[in-house]
Chains A and B, each alone.
Chain A
C-alpha cells in the first residue's frame, strides 16, 4: 500500500472517529461517572457516593417493574409482528392487481413518527368523539385507555399496527430473493402450498426472520414515544417502559445519579448480549 493511502485512511476516518469519541465514548464515560455520584438536576455540586445509587435502584420495585414490563412487551409485540409480518409477506409474494399501490399503503406506518401515531390513536380512541370508541360501543365493548386491564393489550395492538409493516418489509425482501424454482419443484412433486412453505421456504428464510426479530426486538425494548404520548406510562406505572422510567427519574424527579445508574445497569445487561448476537448475525 502507498504511504499516501496510509495517511488517507486515517484522514478519511478521522471525522467519524472524532464524532464517536465526542458523542459516544465521552458521554458513556460521563454516565458512569454520574452513576457513582450523588447529583441532582439543577444542583451544581456532586459528591462521590460509590455504589449507593446502584444499591438504591436495585432495591427499587418500580425499576424492576419497568424492566419486566418492557421485556414482556418486547417479547409479545416482536412475536406477534413476526407471525403477522410473515403471513403478510406470503400474501404479497405473488402478482395481483393493484399490488404497487397496496404495497405503498402497507409501508406507510413505518414512516410516521411514533409520537404522531400516538396523537392519531388518541383521536381514534378518545371517549367523546373517537371513531374506534363508537365502533366498539356498537359491538358492546368498552375500550378505555385509562382502564388498567385494557391499557397493555391495547398498546400491544397499537404497536402491532405500526410495526407489522417493518417485519413485513424485511421478510418480503427475503422472500423476493428466494429462488422461485424451489417452490415450483416442490409443487411439481405434489407438495401442498402449506407444506412447501413450512418445509422448503421457511428454512431458507430463517436467517432473515432472525434478523427481523433482532431489529424489531431492540426497537421495541427502547419504546418511549407512543406510550408516553398515550398514557404517560400509566395508569400508575402499568405501562411504564424502562425508557420512560429513566426519563422520569432523571428529568421529572431530578435524580440524575440514580437515573444514570439505571442506564448503566441496562447497558451492562445489553453488553452481555452482544457476543451472542454477533455470533448469530455472523452466521446469518
Chain B
C-alpha cells in the first residue's frame, strides 16, 4: 500500500519533469536528425541519428562557433575569478573587521533590484570611449557587475557560518590579517568560493543582453552566436539545434556534477539576500 503510493509520486514528478525538459529533449532530438527527417511533417519520432550537424557547427567554413565558444569560456572564467577576488576580501573585511557589513549588504541587495538595461547606455558609451567595445574585457567587467551582489551576499553568509575560534588562535600566535585570510580562511571557505565561482560562471555564460549591446563579432559569446544562426542562415534547424545543445552543455554539466553547490548557493542567496 505504502509502496504503491510512493511510486505514484514518482509518476507525478516524472510528468512534471518531462514537461520542463521537453524543450531541451526536442532540441537534442532535432540536432541528431538528418535535414530530411527534421523537415518531415508530421514529425518523426524514430530516426537514424547523424553527427552531421555537430560536424557542421564545429568544422564547416562560415560558422564561427568554436570562436564563440572560446569567448564564452574566457568570459565566464574571468568573471568568476574576479567576482571571487573582489567579493571574498570585501566580505572578510565586512564580517570580521566590521567594515560596514549592513551597508554593504543593503547596497548589494539594492543593486539586484535594478534592471541591468539601466546601465546599458552609460556602459556602451564608456566602452566606446575607451575602445573596449566588442572585447571580452568589456563583457567581463559587465558580468562582474551583474554577479558581484549575489557573490558578496553569499560570501558574507558563508563567512558568518565559519567558527571564529581558529582565526582567533592564529591571531594570538602572531598571524596578521592577510596571513589568516590566506592560510586559514581561504581553505575553510573552499565550498563557499566554489559556490560563488560556479554560479558566476553559469550566469555570465548565460548573459545575452550585454552581448547584444557590446559584441559586434570579435567578442560574440555562444548565447548571441546561437541566435545569430536563426537570422543569418535561414532555417537550418539541425545546425541551430546542435549549436544550442553545445552551448548549454557547460551549465548542464555543472547542474549534474555540482548540484550541491548550486542548490545551497541559490537557496542561501535567496534567504540572505
* A residues at B contact (CB < 8 Å): 1, 4-5, 8-10, 12-13, 15-17, 19-20, 23-24, 26-28, 30-31, 34, 88, 91-92, 94-99, 102, 104-124, 126, 128-129, 131, 134, 161, 164-166, 169-170, 173-174, 208, 211-212, 215, 218, 221-222, 224-225, 228-229, 242-243, 246-247, 250-251, 256, 259-260, 263-264, 266-267, 270, 273-274, 277-278, 281
Contact A23 B262, beta carbon cutoff 8 Å:
no
Contact B252 A111, beta carbon cutoff 8 Å:
yes
Contact B27 A111, beta carbon cutoff 8 Å:
no
Residue from the list B38, B120, B224, B262 in contact with A250, Cβ < 8 A: B120
B residues near A263, Cβ cutoff 8 Å: 117-118, 120-121
Among residues of B, the one whose C-beta sits closest to the C-beta of A115 is: B208
B237-262 contact mask (Cβ, 8 Å, vs A): 1 or 0: 10011001001100110111001001
B residues near A118, Cβ cutoff 8 Å: 227
Size of the B side of the interface (Cβ < 8 Å), in residues, is 99
Residue from the list A34, A121, A267, A281 in contact with B23, Cβ < 8 A: A121
CB distance from A247 to the nearest CB of B (A): 6
- A interface, by DSSP: helix, strand, loop or mixed? helix
Residue B73 at the chain A interface, CB threshold 8 Å: no
Contact A13 B89, beta carbon cutoff 8 Å:
yes
B5-29 contact mask (Cβ, 8 Å, vs A): 1 or 0: 0110110111011011111101100
B residues near A266, Cβ cutoff 8 Å: 115, 118
Contact A30 B122, beta carbon cutoff 8 Å:
yes
Can you report 30 residue pairs joining A to B where beta carbons are below 8 Å apart? A12-B99, A15-B89, A19-B86, A23-B144, A24-B145, A30-B122, A34-B122, A96-B6, A96-B10, A97-B7, A111-B206, A113-B205, A113-B247, A115-B206, A116-B247, A116-B248, A119-B27, A121-B23, A212-B270, A222-B115, A222-B116, A222-B117, A228-B208, A229-B227, A247-B117, A251-B120, A259-B121, A263-B121, A270-B113, A278-B109
